[in-house]
Homo-oligomer: A and B are copies of this chain.
């Protein structure tokens, strides 16, 4: 194989073998800077969610730009971040069961680790483990702000759990977490704003109760990419936990254009069975479809209308014969997080040339 085909720095993006997840690092860095600048101007901490990129490489770029720490969904994601040199991680899920709590203690001994809680029995389990390990673990009480998934209700349920956390040996009660995930992708900006405000009313009511009980709420963390400039504009919010803003995706681009799409999946035409049909070498194993079919970039009128495991069918309306078999086609996934989770590497490009290959280190880390 001639050297011009090897995925070395300088290779033209369109010569990268496919399917490949391409990141335009210029766009990603601009997104990182833009959120940081906005939050700096609003005296707000940025704690980006690593569930999107699953990679210390991107975490460090966010930290260098000014982030106060990272969020992670799972203990295993936090392990990858902390092993990769990140020193402050908030796990936004409840960590249940002895094996995971033991792993959490291993992390708490060498980084500032905070975890979400929504039950007293879990607080007791975490406290006992922290005491046994001589560790200090931060906890935030997750408040159900309307997503109706995990979290306590505002009022006595939240306040009593905060009290329990504050009193528990080995734990450090940091404050409250509320994620308005049910409204972050609402298309209408007015509705999205109203939804975020209603959600934050619940979070602030919960915080009122906790503060009335004499407990300090040092952390009030909320917001996703779609609500960073609504939720983040509220004075009481201390930090935002946006994830998708770094790369965006087809779905979020329908919500807002505050950030630029930085990711695409490069594919190859492998068959042209009919003048209006091209078959691509991407399928459900290389591009997610939980938010719909990917958008075709750069070919007006072309649409992906079917994805099987390893094939995509693309309708072509422009001049017959193009794109030809062997030509590359770039696709914008509708959902970045679930697409990234399918891949092993980022092919990081700058100005159309490959710059580096970065492993998606926390791929498959869902324990």
Binds B, one of A114-122, A191-199, A234-242: A114-122
Choose from B5, B290, B308 the contact partner of A99 (Cβ within 8 Å).
Answer: B5
In the bound complex, how far is the Cα of B7 from the Cα of A145, in angstroms?
37
Tell me what chain A mostly uses at the interface: helix, strand, loop, or mixed. loop
Given contacts A19-B367, A102-B1, contact A311 B93 (CB under 8 A): yes
How big is the A interface, by class? Answer: 35 or more
Whether the pair A93, B325 counts as a contact (CB closer than 8 A) is no
| Residue in B118, B273, B338 whose CB lies within 8 Å of A144 | B273
Q: Which of A241-298 contact B (CB under 8 A)?
A: 268-273, 277, 279, 281-286, 288-290
* Residue from B5, B97, B273 within 8 A of A326 (CB atoms): B97
Q: Which of B118, B289, B337 contacts A271 (CB 8 A)?
A: B118
State how many angstroms separate the Cβ of A131 from the closest Cβ of chain B: 16
How far apart are the CA atoms of A74 and B74 in the complex, in Å?
A: 32
Which one, B17, B283, B310, B341, contacts A100 given CB within 8 A? B17
CB distance from A144 to the nearest CB of B (A): 7
Contact (A338, B273) CB under 8 Å given A364-B344, A367-B17: no
Query: In the complex, what distance in Å separates the CA atom of A18 from the CA atom of B367?
Result: 6
A289, B290: Cβ atoms under 8 Å?
A: yes
| The residue from B144, B270, B308, B338 contacting A181, defined by CB atoms under 8 A apart | B308
Bound Cα distance from A289 to B363, whole angstroms: 18
Residue contact B273 to A284, C-beta cutoff 8 Å: no
Given known contacts A18-B367, A99-B17, A325 and B151 CB-to-CB distance under 8 angstroms: no
**Do A97 and B268 touch (CB < 8 A)?**
yes
Known: A17-B367, A337-B309. A94 touches B290 (CB 8 A): no
* Number of copies of this chain that the complex holds: 2
Question: Which of chain B's residues has its CB closest to A363's CB?
Answer: B364
The reply to whether the CB of A149 lies closer than 8 angstroms to some CB of chain B is yes
Q: Are B268 and A19 touching (Cβ within 8 A)?
A: no
A12 at the interface (CB under 8 A from B): no
Q: How far is the CA of A269 from the CA of B149 in the complex (A)?
A: 12
Apart from A118-B271, A151-B271, A282-B366, list 16 A-B contacts with CB within 8 A.
A18-B97, A20-B367, A96-B326, A97-B268, A97-B326, A148-B273, A149-B273, A149-B308, A149-B313, A150-B271, A150-B311, A151-B273, A181-B308, A285-B337, A285-B338, A286-B366
Complex A-B: 26 CB contacts under 8 Å: A17-B100, A17-B367, A20-B367, A51-B309, A51-B310, A73-B309, A93-B311, A94-B271, A96-B269, A96-B325, A96-B326, A119-B325, A122-B325, A148-B277, A149-B308, A149-B313, A150-B279, A151-B271, A151-B273, A283-B366, A284-B288, A285-B337, A285-B338, A285-B366, A309-B337, A310-B366
